[in-house]
Structure 1
Amino acid sequence: LTDRIGRRRTMMLSFFITPVLQMLLFFARDHVVIGALTFAFGYFIDLYRPAAAALIADVVPSKDRVRAFALRYWAINLGASIGLSLAGWLAQHNYIYLFVGDAVTTFLFGLVVLRFIPETRPMIEKAAQQARSLRLALPRIATAERPAFTFMILMALLGMGVGAIFVQSSVTMPLAMEARGLSESDYGLAVALNGVIIVLVGLPISQYVQRYSRLVVLAMAAVLTGVGFGLNAFATTTAGFAFAVAIWTLGELMAAPVGTAIVADISPVARRGLYQGIFGSSFGAAYAIGPIIGGAIFQRLGAETLWTVCFVIGVLAALGYLIVLRPIYARLTTEELAVGLTALRKHLVHGCAFPIRRDFEFEQPGDGRRGIQQRHFLVDRVTGADAWPHDHPGDRHVFGEISAVEAVVPTVIAVDNQGGIFGERSDDLRQFHIDARDLLKLAI
């Protein structure tokens, strides 16, 4: 849906329909009606997630995506911490306040999107869109996209395994603490450390991990998750369980933004919403199977066996990231520029329009006003590929001409092997920058 109707419209559907379903749920009394409304509510409340992730991928260059997704994750957790406190206070007075408050804030979020968030989905010319429309469906993934789609499926499966470990924090961990003679308040204190760590150190950690390979960071996160839950086998006090929470929270902080950024890196522009939806669904699946499997192991084999299994799954997931996914990711993100040259020349001829946010100030003639200009450009033709003759002799580049939709101005573009496109307007030499990988994926 995000790829078909746009990011903005999808988010507005979520934020404007969800409040209605919330209020209907409050007044519903029939079990069948409650079940149907709950299903619809679950669908629409999460509809915005892939749309928001695709929007961030549209406007943020690859090198900054980990930080951007970390900021979103931090904001969500901060809001959740505040919301849980308010929810308890509202529920003590009357549950209708809880439903109305949630509905109102969701509706207000929709108004913010309506008023301030523009559509960021890259535009595709009608003819090109018709030629590729069937390839938006899962059964008809294009041959050129299969490596990325295979990577996405494997990424989702590994994410589901790690997610199934995280689920134990709210399913079997309280049971294990109760078996150790600890109370519900002890569990609350231990788990509360998760939110505190996320709010206090979430952003600095995301900044720190950007210096490492993203698949290496995911592997480290999987190991920390496995170790954190594995330590529950040795914990006998609230402090011991809290220490374990601190360890797997670090894994959570590393995995959440980096995983989403990786999906944005490898997903074709026209299917960013689809890929983000698949990735998000893997955690939904983890929340479905995690309690069943974890509960069965806990009941039949004991808590120590469960925590050992969690540790093993974390280590196996880390090996999967390093041994299986890392080589594929390297090919998709580095060889992509070289392989994509032919695709560019073949497909990007009067084919696509894509948004460029020119990161320079412009001065309005006549009144001296200044601001940031964002415009759309059409690819006119790709004229060839060669090595950059000046500062970076080892880089691969694509040379071509593009034209602004508003005013046709010939522009020379150059693509470097770090995923950046740089160019100069021939009339005033003002520079712009976009993500080269996004341009190349338009050829798929």
Structure 2
Amino acid sequence: MSVASLRRAARETVSGLPREFWWLWTSTLVNRLGAFVATFMALYLTLGRGYSASYAGLVAALHGLGGVVSSLAGGVMADRLGRRPTLLVAQASTAVSVAALGFVRDPLAIAAVAFLVGMASNASRPAVQAMMADIVRPEDRVRAFSLNYWAINLGFAVSSMAAGFIAEYSYLAGFLIEAAMTLACAIVVFLKVPESRPGTDAQVSHEGGDAVRLWTVLRDGRFMGVVGASFLIAVVFQQGAVGLPVAMGRAGFTPADYGMAIAVNGVLIVALQIPVTRFIEHRDPGRLLIVSALLAGYGFGLTAFAGSVGVFALTVCVWTLGEMINAPTQTGLVVRLSPVHGRGRYQGVYTLSWSVAALVAPLMSGAVIDRLGAEWLWGMCAAVGTAAALSYWVLMRRLPKAEPTTVESRTEPRTEVGTA
């Protein structure tokens, strides 16, 4: 592809999106630029504090448990109270709890505050995703979600490299920087992002529609199939932040080594996510999801053979390609399956799959590394990736060929969404 073609593709990718989206995008970017804690939490506990891999896994699991609780609560809040209030409460609470985590020393206190951090930080995800679906036109949503995902990984690439060096200087500095950046996100939302909620449950019922409850979402078999497959693939992807740093630390690599290896993930997504999205957006989602699951599982499986930072980085390249394919494909499917007046709850349940994975994956990785060794963990990742691919195959076989179009027309509102 020529330079002119790349420039034209870039212009087409960023044009036509509303101003509110770009402020929300900016908030996402600022948040991820300061996301140090998730990157070096395992190293902080094992190398900085001298705890075992099992304890580090337990703390990470409690962080994930907080996310499980807030996934559903954040989705309900986004529908009932509004997207903007939910974002403000979640981001302010995250800033306070992350700062506190840097000062606590008692093992029980660390575990308790980690739970609060997970609960506060994850509460904003359903609101962000629902707000983007509200303010962006249906035909632009996949592109908008890809751009938001791109911002997440641009920030992650920078913060990953910085986190390793900051950790060698001061872990506390990393906690305080993340708290400050998260507070800056709340300020951006407060000043620039308007409310976008289409209407309350009472208004929907008054207008003759069916109000969406959590039970409604859980009874949606097709949607819950997507959630189940998402959980399997999320368990694998979580190992990049949990199993990989612990395994590298056990093998004698430094925090900076891990930071450089995992930064490949963010750099590759920043460089290739937009062209990859343009390449896959009109292709069969079933095949794409199967390929993404296999790349993820066997990409982590290859980590068993890594003995240098360069080889670790190569394995990151493999599973990152799976991530780039999976994210926009699966997100587009979820949005199409979500009714307009229940987007918060649907996004909350979808987020739950990643939150439960964040709970299960650390427990799995810590126990396996301590008892069997890292090689077993990477073999299990290959097996789980294969199971995810089979799940996607079964799920997509059950969907009609024209399901994306049918669902989109079923879930779109008849009128444009205005601000509250």
Write the distance in 2 (CA, Å) between the matches of 1:279 and 1:177: 31
Write the distance in 2 (CA, Å) between the matches of 1:96 and 1:299: 27
Q: Is the 8 A contact 1:157 1:282 kept in 2?
A: yes
Q: Is the 8 A contact 1:123 1:353 kept in 2?
A: no
Q: Does 1:69 align with 2:145?
A: yes
Match of 1:355 in 2: 416
Q: Does 1:42 align with 2:42?
A: no
Match of 1:270 in 2: 341
Match of 1:108 in 2: 184
- By percentage of residues, which structure has more helix? 2
Q: Does 1:249 align with 2:320?
A: yes
Q: Does 1:293 align with 2:364?
A: yes
Q: Is the 8 A contact 1:215 1:325 kept in 2?
A: yes
C-alpha spacing 1:105/1:118, structure 2 compared with 1 (3 Å):
same
1:120 to 196, 201, 204: 196
Q: Is the 8 A contact 1:62 1:261 kept in 2?
A: no
Cα deviation code 1:156-195 (max 9, x no counterpart): 2222211222233344445655777766665444333222
Q: 1:50 offset after TM fit, Å?
A: 0.9
3-state DSSP of counterpart to 1:247: helix
Amino acid at match of 1:57: A
Write the distance in 2 (CA, Å) between the matches of 1:228 and 1:173: 12
C-alpha spacing 1:15/1:290, structure 2 compared with 1 (3 Å):
closer
3-state DSSP of counterpart to 1:123: coil
Q: Does 1:11 align with 2:72?
A: no
Match of 2:296 in 1: 225
Match of 1:197 in 2: 268
Q: How does 1:317-396 map to 2 (within 5 A)?
A: 317-328=388-399, 330=401, 332-336=403-407, 354-355=415-416
3-state DSSP of counterpart to 1:211: coil
C-alpha spacing 1:323/1:81, structure 2 compared with 1 (3 Å):
same
Amino acid at match of 2:314: F
Write the distance in 2 (CA, Å) between the matches of 1:239 and 1:90: 22
Write the distance in 1 (CA, Å) between the matches of 2:398 and 2:357: 26
TM-score (norm 1): 0.66
Q: Is the 8 A contact 2:160 2:259 kept in 1?
A: no
Amino acid at match of 2:116: A
Write the distance in 2 (CA, Å) between the matches of 1:272 and 1:128: 13
Identity over the aligned pairs, expressed in percent? 35
Q: 1:79 offset after TM fit, Å?
A: 1.7
2:379 to 308, 311, 322: 308
Write the distance in 2 (CA, Å) between the matches of 1:243 and 1:19: 34
2:279 to 201, 208, 213: 208
Q: Is the 8 A contact 2:78 2:126 kept in 1?
A: yes
Match of 1:409 in 2: none
3-state DSSP of counterpart to 1:19: helix
Mean alpha-carbon deviation: is it higher for 85-94 or for 291-300?
A: 85-94
C-alpha spacing 1:50/1:305, structure 2 compared with 1 (3 Å):
same
Q: Is the 8 A contact 2:161 2:259 kept in 1?
A: no
Write the distance in 2 (CA, Å) between the matches of 1:22 and 1:188: 20
Aligned-residue Cα RMSD (Å) equals: 3.7
Mean alpha-carbon deviation: is it higher for 53-62 or for 98-107?
A: 98-107
C-alpha spacing 1:326/1:14, structure 2 compared with 1 (3 Å):
farther
Write the distance in 1 (CA, Å) between the matches of 2:297 and 2:123: 30
TM-score (norm 2): 0.69
C-alpha spacing 1:15/1:232, structure 2 compared with 1 (3 Å):
closer
Q: 1:274 offset after TM fit, Å?
A: 1.4
C-alpha spacing 1:210/1:18, structure 2 compared with 1 (3 Å):
same
Cα deviation code 1:11-51 (max 9, x no counterpart): 12222333334445556677766655443332222221111
Higher RCO (C-alpha under 8 Å, 6+ residues apart) = 2
Write the distance in 2 (CA, Å) between the matches of 1:27 and 1:175: 22
Q: Is the 8 A contact 1:123 1:354 kept in 2?
A: no
Cα deviation code 1:192-232 (max 9, x no counterpart): 32222122212221222112123332222111112212223
For the pair shown, which has the larger CA radius of gyration, 1 or 2? 1
Match of 1:435 in 2: none
Unpaired stretches in structure 2, ≥5 consecutive residues: 1-76
